[in-house]
Structures are given as C-alpha cells and as structure tokens.
Amino acid sequence: MTAKLNARSEPKTRILDIAERLFSENSFASVSIRNVTSLAHVNLSAVNYYFGSKKDLFHEVYIRRATEMNHERLLLLNDFSSLAEKEGRNVTVKELVYALITPPILWLYDKEQGLSVYIKFLARAYLEKASDMSHVLKEEVDVFDIFIPYFNKIYPDLEQNDLYWRIHFTMGAMHHTINHIDRIGLLSNGKCKAENWEKTRDRIVAFCSKGF
Amino acid sequence: MTAKLNARSEPKTRILDIAERLFSENSFASVSIRNVTSLAHVNLSAVNYYFGSKKDLFHEVYIRRATEMNHERLLLLNDFSSLAEKEGRNVTVKELVYALITPPILWLYDKEQGLSVYIKFLARAYLEKASDMSHVLKEEVDVFDIFIPYFNKIYPDLEQNDLYWRIHFTMGAMHHTINHIDRIGLLSNGKCKAENWEKTRDRIVAFCSKGF
DNA sequence: GTCTATATTCGGATAGAC
DNA sequence: GTCTATCCGAATATAGAC
C-alpha cells in the first residue's frame, strides 16, 4: 500500500467523516478548521473550497444522514403494522417503542459506517445555537405524528398531553444513553457495562413501554 | 436610584451569575470573557483578577451550588424514610424517584435565585471536555449509592445491572426535560406546555416509577 | 484542485497607571 | 481594586501562484 493511511476516500468525504467525529466529541466553537483539515490530511483551505465555511460544513454533516434514520423507524413500524394486521390485533406499545428506539441505538453501536459517530453528533447538535436543527427536528416531529394514531388506538382514553410527554421521556432515556453510554460504568462503580446494542435496546424498550 | 441597574450585587457575584447564564446557553468555547464582563458591567480584566482564568471561572460556577442539590435529595429521602418507618412499611419506588427528581425540577422552575439557570448549566457542562466534572459526578454517584439499598429492599431479586440502568434512564428522562423543556411544545404542535413544576415532576415520577 | 501566504478579526491574558 | 493599553496566539477566510 503506497497511499497514505487515511487517504483511501475522496477528500470531501474524508473531511465530512472527520468533522462528524470532531463535532460529535466537541462543541462547534471548539473545533477548528485546522483540526479538521489536518486530521483529514487535506489542505487548510479545503474546507472553504468544498463547503464555503465552517458553518456550512457543520450543516452538511447532519444533512448527509438526516432522513435515513427516520426512514428506518418507519420501516420497522410498517413491519409491525402489517404483522399485527395479519394476526388481527393492534400493534403493541412495546413494538412502537421498539421501532422508535432501535434505529438510533443500532446506529450507536455501528462501527463500520460511522453511524455511531453521527448519533452522538446529533445529540450534541441539538444544543448548538450555531446549528439550525429545525430541519432535523421537523422530520422527527413528522415521524411522531405517524406514530401517534397507533398509540391512540392502544390508549383511547389517554390525554394527548400525556402521550406526548411519554414519548418525550422515551426520547430522553434514549438520548441520555447515547450521550453518556460510558457513564453507566461510573454510576455502577464499574459493575455495569453497555454490553451490546440488543441488550441496551431491550433495556430501554422494557423500561419505557412499562412507563406508558 | 443612582446606581447602575445591574450593579446591585458584588462584582464577583455578578460575574458568576452572568457566566452561569451564558455557559448554560452556549458552549464553553463560544462564550468569551468579553461577553461575560460586558454583561456583568465590570472591567474586562475582572475575570482574570477574581478567578485567574476563564476555566477557573467555569469551575467556580459549578462548585458554587454543586453540593446543595444532592443535599436536598438526601433530605427528601430522609423524610420518606422516617415516614415509612413510622408506618411500618418500606419506602416506595415512587418516593425514591420523587426524591431524586424533585430538586432538579424544582430548581429548573425557580426564577428568583437563578437555580434554573444552574440546572441547565449542569446539563451542558456534562458534555464539555473543558470542564472536569468528575467532582460533580462523584457527588451524584455517592448519592445514588445511598439510594441503592432502598431500591434493593423493594426489589430483592432484581439484578444490580438492571437497577443501575433504570436509574440511568430516569436521569435521562429528567435531563432531557431540562435540556429541552421548550421542545414539548414543538413535538406536540403547540398542544402541550410545561405548565408548572409540580405537574412536570409528577409526570416524570409517574413514567419512571412505572418503568422500575 | 491543491498549495502558500496573508489579511483580518477575535479572544485570553498581562502590565502598569491611577 | 479598577481602569486602559497592549501583547500574543489562534482562528476564519481569501487571494493568488502552481
């Protein structure tokens, strides 16, 4: 292999990958273009050349994968929905929570495509004023709007208020796990670990579906 | 009133208050000493004079109130514990979750002492590498260690693993609510609001204690 | 498209007068 | 203790050679 180690992909992709990682671990302001370009093995001016500005780069980082994840949620929902129909029953809460939780947690543990990094990036981006997350947020809200009727069928008497709050808490348990996947070890004095994604997912699903 | 509007308190306190607010809304790197000093109506050099450096200022911001909150949690636990003893029963999960959740949520809605700001600051500080949160984290872990035996009495057969995870998810629902108290409106297309702290607290307690 | 050089701005920290 | 002035480093962005 004669090429440099980190030079296997296109410069633009390499910049996006590195930026995604750095922005997932540090705040927007504390990541410099210099950090990005040096780690991506491209020239300092490459970011401006390919993206225009640091903000634009940030923007492209989340645009790149934004819709994918919500799409996966809906695919799971469809699977459960047609299965339930075939069996002549309602979709269960467990299935609904499962469909909401699985894609992000699955991504969190992905090592190959860097999806793990993106999930952490997203969680951090929500807090950044520099980022306009309305786009991502709107997509997520749209997805929830598709899930809501299913919940309503299960709990016809539940106030809409309460329903939204419970979805909110479910997202909270998930986001917290994503943001602080390492803290569970500290919290338990080293006794606990986030072993594998299925177990983590199942734990969240069990906890949250009981909460509904 | 002859004095300047924002000059009622000591310079040092004023700096801390402003810094707390700015750090609660923005990342460490994106807040400048110049932002802080101009809003606090003190001279640019005052931060270095009183605290030494920007990092030291950040550190003092969270040291100032760190122990208070966990202290309040333990006070609540003690109340419930002696009440339960008097009634010859175990402390309930609801009470335990209540004791863990109430102080932060109560603070979140406080408008007078600026505790609300501190809670948001804390949530953000957890993500900052610039901050060494081991101090705060250790205190929280110590508090959990006091709560654990109570949970164990209620669920003697529950694996410690599961217990820690459930506390983790509870903290998640809480932190998410704190971090995104405004998002519940967006999520529900304006139908929901975080009306008052008791209702919010009760919602979290209900959801999470069912999850145990 | 990739490099160097640089213009420009901004922020942290300090020195030194008062 | 409070102010002004300033040093220094770092960072974004751009201009222009190759």
Contacts of residue A72, Cβ cutoff 8 Å, sequence gap at least 6: A102, A103
Q: Is the pLDDT of residue B1 over 50?
A: no
Q: Which residue is nearest to nucleotide C2 (CA to C1')?
A: A43
Chain A residues closer than 8 Å to B165 by CB:
184, 192, 203, 207
CATH 1.10.357.10 at A64-211, yes or no:
yes
- How deeply is A169 buried, as exposed, middle or buried, from its count of CB atoms within 10 A (0-12, 13-18, 19+)? buried
pLDDT tens, B64-99? 998 899 999 999 999 999 999 999 999 999 999 999
Report which of B12, B90, B191, B72 is spatially closest to residue A161, judged by C-alpha positions.
B191
pLDDT at residue B135 tops 80: no
Q: Stated in angstroms, how far is A72 CA from C5 C1'?
A: 48
Confidence of residue A5 (pLDDT cuts 50, 70, 90): very low
Structure pTM?
0.91
Mean pLDDT of A164-190: 91
For residues A15 and A2, give the distance between their C-alpha atoms in angstroms, rounded to a whole number. 21
Compute chain A's Rg from CA coordinates: 20
What secondary structure letter does DSSP report for A5? G
Is residue A7 over pLDDT 60?
Answer: no
Q: How many CB atoms lie within 10 A of CB B3?
A: 7
Ordered by start, the domain boundaries in chain A are 64-211
Residue range A104-163, pLDDT digits in tens: 999 998 888 878 899 899 888 988 887 777 777 888 999 999 999 999 999 999 999 999
pLDDT digits (tens, 9 = 90+) for A78-97: 999 999 999 999 999 999 99
d(CA B196, CA B109): 8
**Window A:29-68, CB contacts with B under 8 Å:** 29-30
Element (H, E) at A35: helix A33-39
**Whether pLDDT at A33 is above 60:** yes
Which phi and psi (to 5°) does residue A104 adopt? -60, -40
Chain C nucleotides close to protein (CB under 7 A) are 1-5, 10-16
Task: Give the span between the Cα atoms of B173 and B167, in whole angstroms.
Answer: 10
Strand D closer than 7 Å to the CB of B40?
A: no
The answer to whether the beta carbon of residue A32 comes closer than 7 angstroms to any atom of strand C is no
Please give the pLDDT value at position A8.
67
Q: Which chain A residue lies closest to B169 (C-alpha atoms)? A: A173
The SS3 of residue B72 is: helix
Angle, alpha carbons A87-A90-A95 (nearest 5°): 95
The answer to whether B42 CB sits below 7 Å from nucleic acid chain C is: no
- Mean pLDDT across chain A: 91
- From the CB of residue A164, how many other CB atoms can be counted at a distance below 10 Å? 20
Beta strands in A59-207 (DSSP E): none
Q: Specify the pLDDT at position B3.
A: 34
